[in-house]
């Protein structure tokens, strides 16, 4: 299973760790979408920035 993650809010005026997490996910611009394997590490990153992104589970 994979996760499709889309950034929906800006990182302006956010904490540095949140900005770095967005970068680590491969995002950085609004409405950019990436797909990652559904692992505990990726889930944790998404949970930390859940207010900035939307995500959905997709079948391969």
pTM, two decimal places: 0.92
State the pLDDT at residue 60.
Answer: 76
CA atoms within 13 A on the CB side of 29: 2
- pLDDT tops 80 at residue 3: yes
Residue with tokens 């956010």: 14
The pLDDT tens digits of the residues spanning 6-56 come to: 999 999 999 999 999 999 999 999 999 999 999 999 999 999 999 999 999
Please provide the distance, in angstroms rounded to a whole number, between the alpha carbons at the two ends of the chain: 6
Q: How wide is the angle at C-alpha 24 spanned by C-alphas 5 and 38, nearest 5°?
A: 45
The pLDDT tens digits of the residues spanning 32-41 come to: 999 999 999 9
Domains and CATH numbers, the chain: 2-58 (3.30.1390.20)
């Amino acid at each position: 299973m994979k996760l499709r993650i889309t950034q929906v809010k800006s990182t302006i005026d956010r904490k540095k760790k949140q900005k770095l997490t967005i970068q680590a996910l491969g995002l950085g611009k609004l409405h950019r979408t990436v797909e990652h394997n559904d692992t505990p590490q990726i889930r944790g990153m998404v949970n930390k920035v859940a207010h900035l992104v939307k995500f959905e589970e997709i079948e391969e």
